[in-house]
Amino acid sequence: MTTMTDEAVPTVTDPVCGMWLDPARAVTSEQHDGDTYYFCSSDCRDLFVAEPQRYIGTI
């Protein structure tokens, strides 16, 4: 069963793998072009940093 978040917790998407994250629990984050992106792991962050436009542009 898929349960939507019914709490007032802001959620963000890891742009690399698409995982939903609670920003407060994200492993790491990265500033890019004035926005903050959150990642489930440093591996995802490294992929994003290498080619940010690849992940931002597909959304």
27 near Zn ion, rule: CB under 5 A: no
Asked if 17 touches Zn ion (CB under 5 A), the answer is: yes
Q: Which stretch binds Zn ion (CB under 5 A): 2-10, 20-28, 29-37, 43-51?
A: 43-51
Candidate list 15, 21, 38, 44; residue touching Zn ion; CB under 5 A = 44
Pairing of strands 20-21, 12-13: antiparallel
For Zn ion, the closer of residues 13 and 53 by Cβ is 13
